[in-house]
Amino acid sequence: MSMLQHSTRAWGSPSRYIQGRYELENMKTHTEVYGRRVFFLIDVFFFADYKKRFEALYAGSDSQIQCEQFGGQCTEEEILRCTGLAKALNPDVVVGIGGGKTLDTAKATAYFMGCPVVICPTIASSDAPCRALSVLYTDDGQFDRYLFLPANPNIVLMDTTVIAASPVRLTVSGMGDALATYFEAQATHDADGATCAGGTGGLAALQLARLCYDTLMEDGVKAKVALEAGALTPAVEHIIEANTLLSGIGFESSGLAAAHAIHNGLTLLPECHGMYHGEKVAFGTLAQLVLANASTEQLEEVLGFCIEVGLPVTLGELGVDEVTREKAMIVAKAACAPDDTMGNMPFDVTPEMVADAILGADALGHYYLD
Ligand SMILES: [Zn+2]
């Protein structure tokens, strides 16, 4: 329907997405596209191992590399530290290896050094790697601000052997983040709402969002079971792509709506602090479906999926032992803040409606769990 209108359509994505077994071993080939001076920012868990590997990999070549260990938090101070460390090398390319905070710091460092960036996630827990954004925190770990970047990463490189060795709960959490993508994309499309890419979503991103959902339904349970057995199967490969690329492009180019707004509201409940982003988004998705009165068939498919892979379907599973309307209202009010994405729902939404959707989703979760 909205495609009959004439809104500006916009699309954002990494220039290249590369995913495969032992892909980090091809690092030199990838960085040589951009130049010979390479600055590596590596998560503490991988630092000693990968510093050694890259020094061996680049030994005898005309490339000059510098490996630095990530400081642990994506703060303005850490970004300044990294640009300071990189100054003498004057890198042709920055490579980030690790989780979301390492990668966001690498993106920001590359941006301030004015050079391309290669992003190498070591987990598939969210849709963040592909996006043109770094989330900055304060020194004491509170949200500081978004740093909007003029471009998406030049390369997002997924070494699936590394991802398969990461905790299964993180990949399942990535499925929770990816679960929201299609429903938020469709809602934004129906509302002719705005996306992070700077326009309304076009046809391509909406189709990728749909593919993201279909891939979860087809391969999610298979992938979870395989990962628990330490097996890197085709289903695992599909889920890594769905969690990272399909969900990443889907959200950035086709929009966020109620699910992520409710996630943001849930961060106000201290009980939920131990939960991962995608786990809260999964419950937010359920609440969005209740809010939009999705069909019983649709609800059962999503609930069944969450229960099978181990994503939370009740507030209790998110750590909220005592569920009250007051708590639901705290979440709902925050979710309806004008600067959040609730406005991308295709109908008017009030905090009362969201609180009822949250309580309704929680009750429905109990109904199917019990
Ligand atoms: Zn997300």
6 is catalytic: no
264 CA to centre of ligand 1 in angstroms:
10
273 is catalytic: no
CA distance 287 to 328: 11
Sequential DSSP letters for 191-209:
HT---TTSSB--HHHHHHH
Catalytic residue (choose from 30, 189, 238, 260): 260
Say if residues 235 and 222 touch (Cβ distance below 8 Å). yes
Say if residues 179 and 305 touch (Cβ distance below 8 Å). yes
55 CA to centre of ligand 1 in angstroms:
35
SS3 percent helix, strand, coil of the chain, rounded to 5, is 55, 15, 30
Q: Which two tokens stand for residue 259?
A: 């699910």
53 CA to centre of ligand 1 in angstroms:
32
Range 309-324 average pLDDT: 97
Catalytic residue (choose from 30, 189, 238, 277): 277
Catalytic residue (choose from 30, 189, 238, 263): 263
Q: Which two tokens stand for residue 198?
A: 């700077």
CA 104, 108, 110: angle at the middle one, nearest 5? 115
Looking at residue 2, what is its pLDDT?
A: 45
4 CA to centre of ligand 1 in angstroms:
29
Catalytic residue (choose from 177, 219, 356, 362): 177
| DSSP reduced 3-state for 290 | helix
Is the predicted pLDDT of residue 1 greater than 80, yes or no?
Answer: no
CA distance 172 to 260: 17
263 is catalytic: yes
pTM: 0.95
pLDDT, averaged across the chain: 95
15 CA to centre of ligand 1 in angstroms:
21
Say if residues 118 and 155 touch (Cβ distance below 8 Å). yes
Residue 24, CB-side half-sphere exposure with 13 Å CA sphere? 24
33 CA to centre of ligand 1 in angstroms:
31
Looking at residue 6, what is its pLDDT?
A: 67
Q: Which two tokens stand for residue 60?
A: 């005898």
CA distance 333 to 362: 18
Looking at residue 370, what is its pLDDT?
A: 84
pLDDT in tens, 229-258: 999 999 999 999 999 999 999 889 999 999
Q: Which two tokens stand for residue 71?
A: 């400081």
30 is catalytic: no
